[in-house]
């Protein structure tokens, strides 16, 4: 199938809606300055075919998309042990909520809410230089050198009171081994990585190839581990809108408040859409519409 005309048509039909609805994330000052009038889409098939349209080469803040890759590092390094301090259930609460952590003794519901990603990051900080390893993984997966946006990282650090609260709370339950400040610094930097849609579509490629590196082909994760990441994306990857995503789109997806969404069609392709204005749950509004149009036009779905 030639995907290029499909992506171009989606961008052309959604462009008139740019700026009409949704809000860019404002709780991180550096993100509040991003223009909402942008829309990009890119995909890479398992056999290396690529297509992209719109603002697909414009870098943006990956934010929670980094949670996919920190979990990948954690699963690769620790195997099953990664699940000792993190659950696998949808939280039913906002991504930065504190309430559940109290009643559940500091064990986050899943690795895609902030508390869960902080717990994963803590394990990574114990194992190695978590910041350097994240950049190395992402650069290797997309075949280009990627960087932190230090301004975004600093902006998050200066306003990340909830993340600090979550990490301190877990520390009080004995669930964080390292200095809270070190864990937060790594987490904020992971969220601050700047990448474009095409780079992310490539970087997520192992998720549609049973864990094989998108370019090198060597196994990054096992088939079983990869399937588990995809199921977590489906149930927990899109804040409180997982049901809506399954209903409208029918693919495992992970969102970030920078407006990016990574989606996987197992055994076929990975894609990334980006448009900074978010709907109420924190997912990219036009990104969701673009994915819905893509699955409607191509018939691709896991259901």
Indicate which residues carry an active-site annotation.
64, 67, 187, 239, 257
Residues 197, 257, 269, 272: which binds ligand GLU (CB under 6 A)? 257
Q: How far is the CB of 16 from ligand GLU (least distance, A)?
A: 27
Count of residues making up the chain: 303
Q: Which is nearer to ligand GLU, 211 or 252 (CB)?
A: 252
Are 25 and 280 within 8 A, CB to CB? Answer: no
Q: d(Cα 180, Cα 191) in Å, to the nearest integer?
A: 16
Q: Which helix (H) or strand (E) holds 147?
A: strand 147-148
Backbone angles phi, psi at 52, to 5 degrees: -155, 155
Strand 60-61: give its sheet, edge to edge: 60-61, 193-195, 147-148
* Nearest by Cα to 282 from 107, 108, 91: 91
Q: Among 38, 110, 114, 283, which residue sits at the site for ligand GLU (rule: CB under 6 A)?
A: 114
State which residue, 180 or 257, has the beta carbon closest to ligand GLU.
257
Q: How far is the CB of 20 from ligand GLU (least distance, A)?
A: 23
Tell whether residue 270 is a contact of ligand GLU (CB under 6 A). no
Per-residue contact flags (x/-) with ligand GLU for residues 16 to 55, judged by CB under 6 A: ----------------------------------------
Pick the closer one to ligand GLU by CB: 28 or 293: 28
Binding to ligand GLU in span 193-252, by CB under 6 A: none
Does 70 help bind ligand GLU (rule: CB under 6 A)?
no
| Shortest Å distance, C-beta 191 to ligand GLU | 4
* 122 in contact with ligand GLU (CB under 6 A): no
Helix (H) or strand (E) holding 250: none
Distance between first and last Cα of the chain: 20
Q: In what order do the strands lie in the sheet with 260-265?
A: 50-54, 40-45, 269-274, 260-265, 253-255
Q: In the structure encoding, which two tokens stand for residue 260, read together? A: 């990016």
Q: Which is nearer to ligand GLU, 55 or 156 (CB)?
A: 156
Find the binder of ligand GLU among 38, 45, 63, 110 (CB under 6 A).
63
Angstrom distance (rounded) from CA 152 to CA 34: 11
Largest CA distance in the chain: 54
Candidate list 72, 96, 110, 295; residue touching ligand GLU; CB under 6 A: 96
E strand or H helix that includes residue 60: strand 60-61
> Which of 38, 45, 56, 64 contacts ligand GLU by CB under 6 A?
64
Residues 155-194 binding ligand GLU (CB under 6 A) are 156, 163, 191
Angle formed by the axes of helices 66-78 and 114-127, nearest 10°:
50
d(CA 249, CA 119): 29
284 lies in the site for ligand GLU, by CB under 6 A = no
**DSSP H stretches of helix in 160-263:** 161-172, 180-192, 197-203, 223-236, 242-248
- Tell me which of 108, 111, 256, 276 binds ligand GLU, using CB under 6 A: 256
Q: How far is the CB of 93 from ligand GLU (least distance, A)?
A: 13
Positions touching ligand GLU (CB under 6 A) are 63-64, 95-96, 114, 156, 163, 191, 256-257
């Amino acid at each position: 199938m030639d995907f290029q005309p499909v992506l171009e048509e989606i961008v052309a039909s959604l462009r008139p809606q740019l700026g009409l609805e949704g809000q860019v994330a404002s709780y991180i000052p550096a993100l509040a300055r991003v223009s909402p009038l942008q829309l990009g889409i890119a995909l890479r098939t398992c056999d290396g075919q690529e297509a992209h349209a719109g603002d697909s080469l414009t870098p943006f803040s990956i934010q929670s998309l980094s949670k996919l890759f920190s979990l990948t590092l954690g699963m690769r390094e620790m195997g099953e042990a990664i699940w000792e301090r993190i659950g696998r259930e949808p939280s039913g609460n906002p991504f930065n909520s504190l309430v559940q952590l109290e009643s559940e003794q500091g064990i986050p519901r899943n690795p895609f809410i902030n508390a869960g990603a902080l717990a994963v990051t803590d394990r990574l900080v114990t194992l190695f230089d978590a910041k350097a390893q994240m950049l190395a993984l992402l650069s290797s997966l997309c075949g280009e050198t990627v960087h932190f946006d230090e301004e975004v990282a600093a902006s998050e650090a200066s306003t990340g009171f909830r993340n600090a609260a979550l990490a301190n709370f877990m520390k009080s339950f004995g669930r964080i081994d390292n200095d809270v400040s070190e864990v937060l610094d790594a987490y904020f930097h992971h969220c601050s990585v700047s990448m474009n849609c095409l780079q992310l579509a490539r970087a997520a490629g192992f998720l549609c190839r049973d864990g094989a590196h998108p370019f090198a082909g060597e196994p990054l994760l096992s088939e079983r581990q990869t399937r588990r990441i995809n199921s977590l994306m489906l149930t927990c990857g899109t804040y409180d809108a997982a049901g809506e995503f399954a209903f409208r789109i029918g693919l495992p997806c992970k969102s970030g408040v920078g407006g990016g969404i990574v989606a996987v069609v197992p055994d076929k392709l990975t894609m990334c859409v980006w448009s900074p204005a978010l709907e109420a749950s924190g997912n990219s509004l036009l990104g969701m519409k673009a994915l819905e149009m893509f699955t409607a036009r191509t018939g691709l779905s896991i259901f």
